[in-house]
Chains A and B, each alone.
Chain A
Amino acid sequence: MASYIGERVRRNEDARLLTGRALFVDDVQLPGMAHVAFLRSDHAHGRLRGVDVEDARRYPGVIAVFTAADLGDFWQPGPLLVPPPPVPGLEFHARTQVPLARDKVRHVGEPIAMVVAESRYVAEDALALIAVDVEPLGAVGDLEAALLPDAPKVHDELASNLAARVRQQKGDYDRARADADLVVSRRFVYDRGASAAIENRAVAAAWDPKSEELTIWDTTQAPIPIRNGLARLLGLLESQVNVIAPFVGGGFGPKIMMFYPEEVLVPWAARRLGRPLKWTEDRHENFGATTQERSQVHDAEIALTREGRILGVRDVFLHDNGAYNAYGLTVPINSQCTLLGMYRVPNYESEFKAVFTTRTQVTPVRGAGRQHGVFVMERLLDLAARELGIDRLELRRRNLLSPDEFPHNHEIIFQDFAPLTYDSGDYLPAFDEAAALIGYDRFYREEQPRLRAEGRRVGLGIVGYVEGTGIGPYEGARVTVEPSGLVRVATGVGTQGQGHFTAFAQLVADALGVDVEQVRVVTGDTREFHWGTGTFASRGAVVAGTACRSAALAVRDKVVALAARLLDAAPETIELEGGRARGRGRDDASLSLGELAARANPLRGAVTPGMEPGLEATAYFGPDRGNTANGVHAMIVEVDPETADVKILRYVVVHDCGRLINPLIVEGQIQGGVAHGIGNAFYEQLHYNEDGQLLNASLMDYLLPVATDVPDVEMAHRETPSPFNPSGLKGVGEAGCIATGALFAQAVEDALGHAVEIRGIPLSPDRLFHLMREARA
């Protein structure tokens, strides 16, 4: 039987997306709908002495204005989404965001009041009438200064701005260091960026007093947890709350934060006022109100023998939480665990402190801290290679884990609370393939010398990474064959462009022997499926995909049993193909799946004891632990010596995400991830000043890479199946952006003949220009 797995199947959802027929939250228009705008803090840190909303309440067209004082018992801090992992000696202080600021404001953009009006125009005009009395307090931004005893405290009741301290180790780094021929140490800085999804956040909500149901359209990556949380907050049954995450224009992590203030307030107010409400975030709001990522400062060192064997790594770093830490330690734990990469590191000591600052909250953004770890490790290897006089590719080869070392337990705890264990991988061929594709040897033998002679600054980078993907807890799916012959698949994850409508359909189509276009997938609608967690950690295909497959196989069993009975054939002879069931060798007698579905649910005699009606099954998949995808990125860049602009001449990705469901989708994920990574490495940086004001909160000043900045990525696929799920799948959603910072640094240094040493990301033409000027001075 032909299989869809591994085929370049065109995406089922693209016709709707490309012709503008896909529903996004802002498309939701309901009779009587009113509109919401939020008054947000202009101050990074201050005591809120008063909020006077009387003039705004009297403004024509305003329906209601709410402050924290109006929320009563509904005012409560959000949940701690991820408690700290079980690391011995860990210190952790949770402080989560509140719906509206009550006593203090802790970052620019934090909501203070909510206006509901007949139109967004009126709502925004009314915002201007609200008088806020704030006593400014000192801003907290610099991570080292934040921990000094005289620093202003973001949370008054805590002893300091320390949010967490986590130390993990394996082996004995001090001994490794004592035995080393070379120790290289440096400080590395990785600064903040926004996720900059093309669609900002939006929430619409309607309360139907007759059915007593609340329906919420939300740009969330996690509709089911939102439904569960809102039901609890509002004192409703979960079945009274429907959350729909329709098509979403990019998630990238911030849209799985829960609960954003707007996400709890809009439904609450819709029910209280008896009016459908909508709020759509504007780009300016997005820069302060949607979570961000990335500020970390690492003091790291690597110890090696003179042959280039890694003896150990020590890393001590500070992580910027922003004002709250609902996501616990996910991001810094990812940095800590991803640092080890593809390499055999017998001794590792890593300690981080997470710090509260008066900046927007940090939660996972595509890569989710992994790129920091890769940056530190790959930079250390580059520096060590130069000191040892060993080619940097060769140094990496000497330290790669070999296939016989899997599963490889790194003896530290990962974000899914399980020991960081690499399930499978084969790294050396990946490095070799990337080196061959980029033409590593020829570049140094011919191209670079020739171009240098012409005065051109051209350099090459090559780095690898291992990415933890596909973590639990679980997802589920229900598969139904309908009498029309169409197959309906419902799963709980939300979709933000990942191709779920196709990848899941391929898995189900294979199990049932139907055309992939006959499989209709519904995601992100709690009325359709209401168990599950969400789309994050590169897990949709692995976890939800596997659940879809299991449910389809259970339906297959039902189809086979029924067809065998009706065709009077032995079940083991029943074959499913082309949407029909037939007995082997009996082409004359077959039944379509639609007919079987109808026969499985007749008006008389459908269910006898032990039977279920219809052709339907529900299944769940919960992996014990995440699996590890990997990849090698290589790039050739040219640096303009006058303007410090960097042009990417070639970009190669050799990646391994286990078995591929659909190469087309995987390539799209990688191309998009690389675009994200290029932005992160060379354009995007959130500039805060010492007062905690974000100075480039618009797309005029916050640079995103545009189409001409992003090359067509040349790709090669390798497939080392994961043993942790039946299809051998691994995740790929974040792969493209994890290595880019380290890659940029290495390639640019090489292009400039190592005149500069790059220890910070993001670079920018401006920052590189200054580095080059300092180097000349």
Chain B
Amino acid sequence: MKVTGTFLFRGPREAVWDLLQDPAVLAKAMPGAERLERTEGDRFEGSMKVSLGPVTAARFTLVVELADKAAPERFAMRIDSQGPLGFTRGKALVELTPVDEGTMMSYSSDLQIGGRIAAVGQRVIDMAARMMTEKGLESLQKELDARLAGGSRA
């Protein structure tokens, strides 16, 4: 599954960059994420619960590794999540470009999805991925707003 898109953050690029490197923030921004912790360097581990069509509240382990970091412009993520109802594995690329209104993030991910979530969730999977992405990005914007207003909501 490929998910690509752009999102306009209302804030400067460095602030957006810092936000995206903070696992506590990411955990809150990812719908269904229960926790995400830095285990070493750029490796984060955690777990999430996802509902997808007929698949309800399945728990997945989540490993995210950041790579090819070029602060504050771009970074890549390797994502590996597994659970009894399937797996998601793949790569995502995030690029940040300063624009007049703030920072434009463009993202593209190429994910392999397998197991029961692929087999019975296919009809809703694209929509679910898009919705989860949008929801996540909106929470990130709120977090950014809070940070820029002078205090972290974390």
Interface residues of A (CB under 8 A from B): 42-44, 108, 127-128, 136, 284, 287-288, 687, 689, 691, 693-698, 700-701
Does residue B122 face the partner (Cβ distance < 8 Å to A)?
yes
A694–B121 alpha-carbon span in the complex (Å)? 11
Interface of A is mostly: loop
| Contact B89–A136 (Cβ < 8 Å) | yes
| Contact B119–A284 (Cβ < 8 Å) | yes
| Contact A700–B54 (Cβ < 8 Å) | yes
- CB-defined interface of B90-124 with A at 8 Å, one 1/0 digit per residue? 00000000000000000000001111101110110
CB-contact partner of A697 in B83, B87, B120, under 8 A: B120
Q: Closest B-chain residue to A129, C-beta based?
A: B84
Within 8 A of A (CB), among B3-51: none
Interface of B is mostly: mixed
| Contact A693–B113 (Cβ < 8 Å) | yes
A694–B123 alpha-carbon span in the complex (Å)? 12
Does residue B86 face the partner (Cβ distance < 8 Å to A)?
yes
Interface residues of B (CB under 8 A from A): 54, 83-84, 86-87, 89, 112-116, 118-120, 122-123
| Contact B114–A42 (Cβ < 8 Å) | yes
Chain B residue numbers with a CB within 8 Å of A696 are: 119, 122
A704 to chain B, nearest CB (A): 16
Chain B residue numbers with a CB within 8 Å of A693 are: 112-115, 118-119
A655 to chain B, nearest CB (A): 38
| Contact B119–A698 (Cβ < 8 Å) | yes
| Contact A287–B54 (Cβ < 8 Å) | no
Q: A42-B86, A700-B54 are in contact. Are A287 and B112 (CB under 8 A)?
A: no
| Contact A136–B122 (Cβ < 8 Å) | no
Q: A136-B89, A136-B112 are in contact. Are A127 and B84 (CB under 8 A)?
A: yes
A288–B116 alpha-carbon span in the complex (Å)? 11
A724 to chain B, nearest CB (A): 45
- Count chain A CB atoms within 10 A of each CB in B54, B118, B119, B123 and give the residue with the most: B119
B60 to chain A, nearest CB (A): 11
Chain A residue numbers with a CB within 8 Å of B87 are: 42-43
CB-contact partner of B114 in A43, A687, A698, A700, under 8 A: A43
Chain B residue numbers with a CB within 8 Å of A42 are: 86-87, 114-116
Chain B residue numbers with a CB within 8 Å of A44 are: 114
Q: Closest B-chain residue to A687, C-beta based?
A: B122
Chain A residue numbers with a CB within 8 Å of B122 are: 687, 695-696, 701
| Contact B84–A128 (Cβ < 8 Å) | yes
Q: Closest B-chain residue to A125, C-beta based?
A: B84
A506 to chain B, nearest CB (A): 45
Chain B residue numbers with a CB within 8 Å of A700 are: 54, 120, 123
A168–B147 alpha-carbon span in the complex (Å)? 75
A526 to chain B, nearest CB (A): 36
Chain A residue numbers with a CB within 8 Å of B54 are: 698, 700
A37–B89 alpha-carbon span in the complex (Å)? 26
Q: A42-B86, A42-B87, A136-B89 are in contact. Are A284 and B114 (CB under 8 A)?
A: no
Q: Closest B-chain residue to A43, C-beta based?
A: B114
A682–B83 alpha-carbon span in the complex (Å)? 35
| Contact B115–A108 (Cβ < 8 Å) | yes
A42–B87 alpha-carbon span in the complex (Å)? 7
| Contact B116–A284 (Cβ < 8 Å) | yes
Q: Which 10 A-B pairs have the closest CB atoms?
A: A42-B115, A697-B119, A128-B84, A695-B122, A693-B118, A42-B114, A698-B120, A691-B112, A693-B114, A42-B86
CB-contact partner of B120 in A128, A136, A284, under 8 A: A284
16 A-B pairs with CB atoms under 8 Å apart are: A42-B86, A42-B87, A43-B87, A108-B114, A108-B115, A128-B84, A136-B112, A284-B116, A691-B113, A693-B113, A693-B114, A693-B119, A695-B119, A697-B116, A698-B54, A700-B54
